[in-house]
Structure 1
C-alpha cells in the first residue's frame, strides 16, 4: 500500500517554526476526539485535510496530536508538548457527557435482559475494517457487487478526500435496500432469489440485460462493508431499473464505534427519496460516495490499484460484457506528461489477456467439457497445433466448462511479456485463479505458489517446470459450494473435496505440458530465444513419436493433430526419413483422418520420386564431372605442348595469356568451356526445380533453407559469368584446378584484356606498376577464383560510387600484396568487421559479393584479405598471396 512520502530534512512551509496558537490547537483537539486518539500517523487523510486547512505541514499536525495523546494517556513518555494542550483538553473534555437517552437505554437493558442474541454496533468493525484488511480488496468487493447487479460498466472516481464507485446495474428500490442491502450477512444470491423478479416478469424491456440464471462473484453478503475499510462516511444513491424513485442513504461508520453497548440496529440511518438526482445521466444503478478516507491515495497507489483490477476479471469470460473506468481530474495533467500508457490513471482498465501478448511459445488448454463426461486438451507450439485429444473426466466436483490455460515461458516469451506489460513475468505473477469470472486472491500474486509446483520442480529440476517458467490461469466456471472464498477475501478458497480435485486437475494438466517441453523443446538446435528457433531432425522425429504415443494411449481419443507433421518429414528429403511416413499414417488412422491419409500417401509417393530423381541427378553430375576432368586433362596436355612450342622460339617476353583471338580457339577448349557451363547450369536447374516443387506443395520452407540454396545458386552463377568472359575475350585454358604461374602477370592481363574494356564506362582502372617486367611472383592459384575476386572488388567499388580504382603491388620477403584502392563512399569504422558477412552491405548491393570473396579466400591456404579504411577518401582492400 502506498504511503505518504517523507521529505528528506523535513517538510517545511511559511509557518514552520511558529508555535501553534490556541485556535489551531482547538481544531487539532477536536480531531483527536473524533478519531478517539487512534490512527495518528502521516498516512491518515483526516490529518492531511486539517493540515491543509491550517496551512501547516502534515508532520507538524501529527506531532500536536501526539502531544494530546501524551497528556491524555500519560504513557507515551513525551514531555515536551505545547503548554496550551492541557488547558484545551480539560475544556473540551468537560463538554463530553453521556446523553440522557443513552443513559436510559443502558438502564433498560440492565432491567429487561432476555435470553436471545443481541448484536453490538461493533459488528460493523468486525465485518468491515477488521475482515477486509486491504484497501484494494475493499475496492474489489465493491466492484464484484456491481458485476452481480448486472452492471455493464463501473466508474471509479478519485477526488481529494472521496472515492466514488458508480455502476449502471439494476439498482435497488426501497424493498431491496431494506431486505437485502441493510440485512447484514444475508445474501439473496446465496438463497437463489437475487433476481427472482426478473424471472417472473418476462415482458419487461430490460429482460435481455438481466440474466438471473448466472452465478455471482460474491455470495457472503458482507462485500458492501468494504466501504468502511476505505472511509468513515458513505452516501449511497440508487435507482432500480424501470423505477422512478431515487433513494439516498447516508452512513457515518464512526457512529458504530462510539459505544460497544449500542445495538447495531438501533443506530439511525439518514435517508431521503426524490424523482431526480444531482448526478447527470444516472438512469439506474448504484453510486457509492465514500469520504473521510482512512488512507491517503497518491498517484502511485491509484496506478497500482488500476493494474491490480486489470488482473481481477477473467479476460476470456467477461472482457466484452463488463468494463471498469478510472476518473481523476487531479491526475489529468500528469497523465498528459506520461509517455507510457500503463502509467496513465484516467481511462478504461485494460483486462490482461494472455493471447494478446502473442507469445511465440508453447501453451496448453485443458477443459471440462459441457457434458461433464470428458476432458478436452489442446497443445499448441508457437502458433501450430500439436494435438487435440478427448479423455474421460474423473473429477466429480469441478463444474463443466472449467479450464486450465498454461504458457511455457522461454527466453523470448519472457522478453515479449516484459515489453508488452511493462514489468517482468516474475513481478506480474504466475498462476491466477478465477472463480465465476473473478480473480481469487492471493492466487497469481508474485511468489505465490498454491499448487506447490516449485517444491515439485526441486525434486526434478530437468524434468519439471516452476513458477518462473509458467504463466497461466485456472478458471472455475461456477461459484459452487465446493469453491467458496474465505471471509477475509484475500485468503484463497476454503478447503473442500473440490479444492483437492482442483489441485490434482492442475498437476495433471502441467504434466501434459511438461511431457512436450522437457524432452523436445529443450533440444532446439538453434537456441536464439525467439520464434526463429528451429528443431533439429532428432527433435522433429520426437514430435512425431510424441503425438503417436499420445494417440495410442488407452481411453484417449485423438481429435486433431498438427498439419506441420508432414512438413517435418519433407523439409529435408532423406532416404532414412521414409519410415516416418508409417508413423504419421498411424497417427492419421487414430484420428480417423481419411483426408489426411490420402495426403500422406501422395506425399510419400512424391517423396520417393524425388529421392529417385536426386540419385539420377547425382549420377549424371558425377558422369559430367568425369567428362569435364578428362577434357581438362586433355586441355592441360595441349597447353603444355603449346608452352613448349612457344619456349622453343625463345621469346623474351613472358607468355601472354590473352594474345590469341577467339577465332583461333581450338575445338577441345570450347568443349571444355561448355562442359563447365553445363555442369553449373544443371546444378542451378536442380536447385530451382526443387524449390519450385516445394512451393507447389505449399510447404513452409524455413528461411535458413532458402538462404542456403540462394547462396549456392549465386556462386554457380558467378562461375558461369567468369567462364563466359574468358570464352569471348581470350584464348587460354580455364583451370578449375590449381596451377603454378606468375600471379602478377595473370592479374595484369585479366585487368587489361577483360575488366578494363568491359568496365571502362563505369570506372577508370589504373594498374600502375602491375605491367612492370622487373618483378614476378610465382605461386599456385585457381584462375577462376582470382577472376571472381577481382570482379567482385570492381563491382563493389562501382556501387560505392567510385570513379577511379588504382591497382598496384608490393613484394615482401615471403608475400605479395596487391592493393585495390578506390575513391568511393568508403566503409564506416563500425561496419568494417561485418563487410564479409552474408547479406551485409553499405550500398544498394545484395551483400553476396564480398561474402563470396571471403568464402574463396578462407578455403585457400595461401591467400588473405584485409581492409584499410583510414585513407582520405574511399577504401583500400589488400589481397595477400603466399608462396
Structure 2
C-alpha cells in the first residue's frame, strides 16, 4: 500500500517574531527612536517633529507618505523594504542631493516602536494624493504576546480613513502629506534628562556640523519642559553666558559649535571628486587656508561613494570653547563619526569606540600621533548594503567588506595622517600654541618656517598637485631670521611645484640680500677682531690683576650672581668695554653696508617704490636700536658681550633691566613698575633682544602720554614666561579696524615710523615668543600680552 501524498513543507511564523524584531533586537530607547527618524529621512522628509507627552510619543514627518496599498503590501509586509528598489533613487536625489541611498534597508525599523510603548497609531497620506483622507491603522503590540503559538498573520490590525486629516497635538504643525506615528502607553518615563540625552544623540545622528548640511531638520516639542527651559535661559542671561542649546529641551536639534571651531582650530577637508579619479584635500588653520591639494584616487571601491571627511584638531583653546558652548567636554561628545547615506552609524565615534584605530596608533607614539581625544569630525559615505552594511543589531558599526577596508585606509592615510603631519611639526613644538585661538604664533619667522617646511614635505611627491597655499604664512622670511636659509629650500620646493615665477624671483632676491648681509657682517667682525687683538695686552693685565685679587674676585662673582646690572660705571672692567665696542662696531659696519647697497640700488632711478624705502629704513632702524641698547649697557652691564647669547633667568633679567637700566634713561613724567612671581628658569637668549622689546614698548607709552607703565612677569608653566604690559596712555586709535595691524611694518597712526612694534614681533619670534595687543574696555591705555616658551 503506497504512502499518502505529503503536503509541501514551509516556514510558519509565530507572534513571538514581533519581539525578536522589536524589543529584543532594539535594546535601547534612543536607538528605537533613531529607527523611526531614519524612516522619515528615507521617506524624503525635510522636517521631523518629535512630541513627548505624559505617556505618549509622536513622530511626524512631511515625507512622501503611504497609500492604502502601500500600507497593505509594504508596511505590513514583515522584513520588506521598498528602499531596496532602485527606481526611486533619481527623484530622491533631485529632492535632497546629499541622500544617495537609504539609511535603513531591512524593513524592520517599524518594530522599534514595540520597544517604546504598547500601542502604536500610524497616520499617513501620500504626497501624490494630498487631497485624499489620511489612512490610519492601530496596533496593540501586547496582543502578539498573549499566545506565542498563534500565527503572526492572524493578529488583526484596525484601519480607519480620516477625512479631516492628521490628528496631532496642538504643538505640532500638521503636514499636508507624510507620516505620523504616535506611541501610547509608553513603557518608560521620558523625563528632562532622558530627552536631553536623546536630543544630543540626534544631533550627532543627523549631522554634528550644523542643521543645514543635509536639508533635514528635527524639532522637539515637550510642553512639560517649557518652564524649565525658560529658567535655563534666564540663568544663562544672569551669568552673561551664551545659551547652551544642549541644556534646552524644546527646539531644533543641531549643533552650532562647528562654525565657531572652524575659526579657532586646525581642520582638514578631504573628498573624492565626482569623477572618482581624484582626492582633494584642504587644510585650514584657525581661519587661514594653509594648502589645497589634489592627487589620484587609489581606492576604486570608494570612487562612486561620495567619500567626504572633515576632521578638527582640538587644541586646549578649542576644547575650552567646545565645553563652554556645548555644555560637555569634547571627549564626552565623541570623536570621528561615520555617516552612511546621510545617517549616523553607531557606535562609531562614541567616547569608548576606536573603530578607526586612532588610539591604537597613538599608543605607539604619544607625541607623534593624534588619538580620539585630540580630534572630532565626520566621515560621509554612500553605498549599497553590498559595500556598506550595518550590523543587524544597529549598534555594532559596519560589517567588514573590501569597501569598508578601503574606507578605513582612506581615512587614516588622507585625513588623520595628513592632519598629523601638519599639527605635530607646526603646533606641537610650540607649547604656547595650544592655548591660542588664532595664527598669531605662526606669523613669527620660526612659525612661518615650520609651516613652509610642512607644506614642502607634503608636496615632495610627484602625485601631489598643489592648487593653493597661504601666501601670508608661506613666504620670504627676514634675512636676520635664524630660519632664513632653511626656509629657502622649503620655498623653492613649493615654487617648483606651483611653477610660481614670482616666488622664484623673490627667493633669488632674498638670497642675494642675505649674501650681502653676511659679507657685511664678516667684514665688520674682522675689523672688530683686529681692534680686539690690539688690546690683548691690556686685557691680559686686567686678568693678572683679577687673579691677584682672589678675595675681591669672589665677592665680585657673588655680586654678579645677585645682580646683572651695576649702578655705577666705576666697576666696568676693560674687557667689558672692549666687548661693547666690538658689538657697536659690528652693528655700525652692517648699517654702513646696507646704506651703500641701497644707494647703489637706487642710483640712476627717478622714482623709488615706497616699499623699497621702507624695507631699507626698517633694517637700518632695527640695527640702530641695537646700538642704542648697547650704549645703555656701556654704563650698566656687568656681563661680557663676547657672545650675543647669555644663559640666565629671562624674567629676572627683564626685571633688572627695567630697574637698573631703563629707568635711568626715562624722560618726562613716566614711571615704571615691575613685578615678578619669582618662578623663573634659565635659558639662552640675546640681551640686546630684551632691550629692543622693552625700549620700544616704553617709547610707545611715552608717545601715548602715559604717566604709569607696569610690567607683570609670571611663569604659568615650568617652560613658559608671560609678560603682561599695561599703561595709562591714550590707548589705541579708534581708526584701527583690527589690532593685529599695529604689528605690520610701517603701520602707524601717529608721527612715528611704525617700526617699533614690528621689530618687537620679529625679535620675540626669534625667541619662540609672541605678542598680542588687547583693547581695554574704557579704551584708555594699552595692554600687551607677551608669551615666550623655552
Alignment TM class, shorter chain as reference: 0.5 to 0.7
SS of equivalent to 1:473: strand
Cα distance, 1:795 vs. partner? Answer: 4.1
CA contact (8 A) 1:238 1:285 kept: yes
CA contact (8 A) 1:433 1:439 kept: yes
Name the counterpart of 1:473.
Answer: 378
- Aligned in 2, Cα 1:414/1:172: closer, same or farther, shift over 3 Å? same
Within the candidate set 92, 104, 111, 1:225 is matched to 111
Name the counterpart of 2:68.
Answer: 174
Within the candidate set 584, 593, 603, 2:491 is matched to 584
Q: Which structure has the larger Rg?
A: 1
- Aligned in 2, Cα 1:345/1:785: closer, same or farther, shift over 3 Å? closer
| Deviations 1:627-684, CA, capped at 9 Å, x for gaps | xxxxxxxxxxxxxxxxxxxxxxxxxxxxxxxxxxxxxxxxxxxxxxxxxxxx9xx99x
Cα distance, 1:300 vs. partner? Answer: 0.4
- Aligned in 2, Cα 1:193/1:175: closer, same or farther, shift over 3 Å? farther
Instruction: Give the Cα separation in 1 of the matches to 2:300 and 2:13.
Output: 40
- Aligned in 2, Cα 1:276/1:208: closer, same or farther, shift over 3 Å? farther
| Deviations 1:323-378, CA, capped at 9 Å, x for gaps | 00011111110000003432111110123663442353332333222212222233
CA contact (8 A) 1:585 1:600 kept: yes
Name the counterpart of 1:523.
Answer: 429
Name the counterpart of 1:361.
Answer: 265
Instruction: Give the Cα separation in 2 of the matches to 1:321 and 1:790.
Output: 67
- Aligned in 2, Cα 1:165/1:711: closer, same or farther, shift over 3 Å? farther
Cα distance, 1:121 vs. partner? Answer: 1.3
Cα distance, 1:149 vs. partner? Answer: 0.9
Name the counterpart of 2:158.
Answer: 270
Name the counterpart of 1:256.
Answer: 144
Name the counterpart of 1:605.
Answer: 509
Cα distance, 1:228 vs. partner? Answer: 1.1
Instruction: Give the Cα separation in 1 of the matches to 2:431 and 2:9.
Output: 79
Written as runs of structure 1 = structure 2, the 5 A alignment for 1:860-875 is none
**Is 1:419 aligned with 2:315?**
no
CA contact (8 A) 2:712 2:725 kept: no
**Is 1:794 aligned with 2:669?**
yes
CA contact (8 A) 2:135 2:162 kept: yes
CA contact (8 A) 1:143 1:154 kept: yes
Written as runs of structure 1 = structure 2, the 5 A alignment for 1:277-316 is 277=165, 278-279=167-168, 281-314=174-207
CA contact (8 A) 2:445 2:483 kept: no
- Aligned in 2, Cα 1:552/1:299: closer, same or farther, shift over 3 Å? same
Aligned residues: 576
Cα distance, 1:282 vs. partner? Answer: 3.0
SS of equivalent to 2:435: coil
Name which structure has the greater RCO, CA cutoff 8 Å, separation 6+: 2
Cα distance, 1:275 vs. partner? Answer: 2.2
Cα distance, 1:494 vs. partner? Answer: 1.4
- Aligned in 2, Cα 1:710/1:119: closer, same or farther, shift over 3 Å? farther
SS of equivalent to 1:524: coil
Cα distance, 1:486 vs. partner? Answer: 1.3
Cα distance, 1:311 vs. partner? Answer: 0.4
SS of equivalent to 2:206: coil
Cα distance, 1:305 vs. partner? Answer: 0.4
- Aligned in 2, Cα 1:712/1:307: closer, same or farther, shift over 3 Å? farther
Within the candidate set 291, 301, 305, 1:387 is matched to 291
- Aligned in 2, Cα 1:267/1:414: closer, same or farther, shift over 3 Å? same
| Deviations 1:121-140, CA, capped at 9 Å, x for gaps | 11111111111111100111
CA contact (8 A) 1:311 1:352 kept: no
CA contact (8 A) 1:525 1:535 kept: no
Name the counterpart of 1:645.
Answer: none
Moved more, 231-240 or 465-474: 465-474
Cα distance, 1:482 vs. partner? Answer: 1.0
CA contact (8 A) 2:257 2:322 kept: no
CA contact (8 A) 2:26 2:115 kept: yes
Instruction: Give the Cα separation in 2 of the matches to 1:211 and 1:566.
Output: 37
CA contact (8 A) 1:159 1:329 kept: yes
CA contact (8 A) 2:206 2:343 kept: yes
Cα distance, 1:570 vs. partner? Answer: 2.1
- Aligned in 2, Cα 1:491/1:537: closer, same or farther, shift over 3 Å? same
Name the counterpart of 1:126.
Answer: 20
Instruction: Give the Cα separation in 2 of the matches to 1:452 and 1:607.
Output: 45
SS of equivalent to 2:391: coil
Written as runs of structure 1 = structure 2, the 5 A alignment for 1:372-771 is 372-398=276-302, 399-509=304-414, 510-524=416-430, 526-527=432-433, 529-530=435-436, 531=438, 532-534=440-442, 540-567=448-475, 569-571=476-478, 573-574=480-481, 577-578=484-485, 580-581=487-488, 583-591=490-498, 593=499, 596-602=500-506, 604-605=508-509, 608-609=512-513
CA contact (8 A) 1:371 1:400 kept: no
Instruction: Give the Cα separation in 2 of the matches to 1:487 and 1:292.
Output: 27
| Deviations 1:197-216, CA, capped at 9 Å, x for gaps | x69xxxxxxx9747799311
SS of equivalent to 1:311: helix
Name the counterpart of 2:124.
Answer: 238
| Deviations 1:428-457, CA, capped at 9 Å, x for gaps | 111211101111000111111112222222
SS of equivalent to 1:390: strand
- Aligned in 2, Cα 1:214/1:574: closer, same or farther, shift over 3 Å? closer
Instruction: Give the Cα separation in 2 of the matches to 1:453 and 1:372.
Output: 26
Cα distance, 1:379 vs. partner? Answer: 2.9
Name the counterpart of 2:584.
Answer: none
| Deviations 1:529-582, CA, capped at 9 Å, x for gaps | 213434876665454344333323243333333324543x32454597257445
Instruction: Give the Cα separation in 2 of the matches to 1:507 and 1:414.
Output: 23
TM-score, structure 1 as length reference: 0.57
Instruction: Give the Cα separation in 1 of the matches to 2:89 and 2:431.
Output: 59
Instruction: Give the Cα separation in 2 of the matches to 1:249 and 1:229.
Output: 18
- What is the Cα-based RMSD across aligned positions, in Å? 4.8
- Aligned in 2, Cα 1:577/1:325: closer, same or farther, shift over 3 Å? same
CA contact (8 A) 2:263 2:286 kept: yes
CA contact (8 A) 2:14 2:150 kept: yes
- Aligned in 2, Cα 1:794/1:590: closer, same or farther, shift over 3 Å? closer
Instruction: Give the Cα separation in 1 of the matches to 2:474 and 2:159.
Output: 73
Instruction: Give the Cα separation in 1 of the matches to 2:515 and 2:390.
Output: 64
Instruction: Give the Cα separation in 2 of the matches to 1:474 and 1:694.
Output: 50
SS of equivalent to 2:181: strand
- Aligned in 2, Cα 1:792/1:358: closer, same or farther, shift over 3 Å? farther
Instruction: Give the Cα separation in 1 of the matches to 2:474 and 2:661.
Output: 45
Instruction: Give the Cα separation in 1 of the matches to 2:296 and 2:662.
Output: 71
SS of equivalent to 1:379: strand
Instruction: Give the Cα separation in 1 of the matches to 2:195 and 2:384.
Output: 29
Moved more, 221-230 or 453-462: 453-462
CA contact (8 A) 2:51 2:220 kept: yes
